Amino acid sequence: MTKDILSLSVAELTARYRAKALSPVEVAQAHLDRAVAVEPTIAAFQLLTPDLALEQAEASRARWSEGRALGELDGVPVTIKDNLDVAGLPTRHGSLTTSDKPAQEDSPAVARLREAGVIILGKTTTPEFAWKGTTDSTLRGITRNPWNTNHSSGGSSGGGGAALAAGVGTLALGNDGGGSIRIPASFCGLFGIKPTFGRVPHRQYGLFCTIASNGPIARSVADAAAMLRVLARPDGRDYYAAPPPSAEWLTNLDSGIKGLKIAYSPALQGIEPDAHVARAIADAIALARDLGAYVEEIGPVIEPLRPTFKDHWKAGFGARLKDVPREQWDLVEPGFRKLAEEGLNISGEALHKAEVARAKLYETMAALHERFPILVTATTPHTAPAADVVYNGADYDRWDDAVPYTVPFNLTGQPAASLPCALSPEGLPIGLQVVGLRFADELVMQACQAFEMAIGPQAVLS
């Protein structure tokens, strides 16, 4: 019975609540028990919040029993990445340099979820200041992949991905500034979407605020859509927020992809994926053709981004390091500190060059999408690396190994999603990335729904 509860979708949970066949309190307790059981192995949580979860579950139980549920997320267990403020809980950002004092108010995404009646199970791990595509920190240690604990769960929303893959939470709230939702989704066999920048109100400041988006990690496209509909509701605190979508947004994702023109880039930026990753994506493309889509294989689409954007990346870290008192710099992870100190000396000319290049990159993608509304690539060139891999080191380069297929769409602000499409010969998940023009989130989700239904349960590649 507990296993059944842990695997229920959003729609299945609410149907059972409505029929009084299941209580949100039972559901919350089952997820908390599962978290306690798996946490020593995977280290997915910075903080578990059983008292808060059970309090919210009891309030949800009362609402359902009285016929006044708040909507489709009422009573749904959710985890929150620990770089987002939750009123009454500390926000540690994976760093020994941050305060353990509780936040005074919810961030916009958390506020929308609380208003929708979710059950907050806890705050999930992130690398220090969310700087990398794996999740480990001096504050919490290594977060491991439930598919194989010798491997990374990805990052920087790696705690949310690991928890969900291990059966903890129905939904995970993460954010993505270079692939930080899509990479954990890919490595952990889950669905995740980075919405169009501005689609989900957030509260971030500084150089990186225009490349990051909050969004869902889920076990299905339908579950993610339910969360995204809530997250996209307005919040006046966000200077960059787009007008909210219509009430019908994301409610009809079953239209299929027959006749849809899809561009397929086997090696985005000219960076070749591993052979088993390439084969998995090619198999998914064959399915798209079977579904009636018109698919054209195109080249690398864009030039390598490293020469132009490496300074942009470092400068953002330098700005973040300035917020840390100088006497605490020795507490900062060495890999981050090295890049951040280099970023302190980046010139305004270099940043201007990067911003011009961002606009030109979007022009390139906009021209592509005039011909092909959807672009498909692998999510990452490789499956999950070793859990203790040195990020941005000789064995796992940031630009060539971790984010070459994800980070372009942070720079352009486009919606991009990852869904599982196969398992490697070692039994590790492989992610398929689906990308659309800005504000074409619904079309991206529609295409992902079609792929998800056609792919079905993932088989191990021989």
For the annotated catalytic residues, the residue numbers are: 81, 156, 180
Chain-centre distance of CA 68, in angstroms? 31
DSSP result, 62-109 = HHHHTT---STTTT-EEEEETTS--BTSB--TT-TTS--SBBSS--HH
Amino acid, res. 1: M
Is residue 73 within 8 A of residue 113, CB to CB? The reply is yes
The pair of structure tokens assigned to 212 is 């990051």
Strand, helix or coil for residue 194: strand
Task: Write the DSSP string, 125-146.
Answer: ---GGG-SSS-EETTTEE-EET
**DSSP result, 266-311:** TTGGG-PPPHHHHHHHHHHHHHHHHTT-EEEE----S--SHHHHHH
E strands, 315-425, are 374-378, 416-423
Q: Which residue has the tokens 């092909």?
A: 372
According to DSSP H, which parts of 140-292 are helical? 158-165, 182-187, 221-231, 275-290
What is the C-alpha to C-alpha distance for residues 135 and 153, in angstroms, rounded to an integer?
7
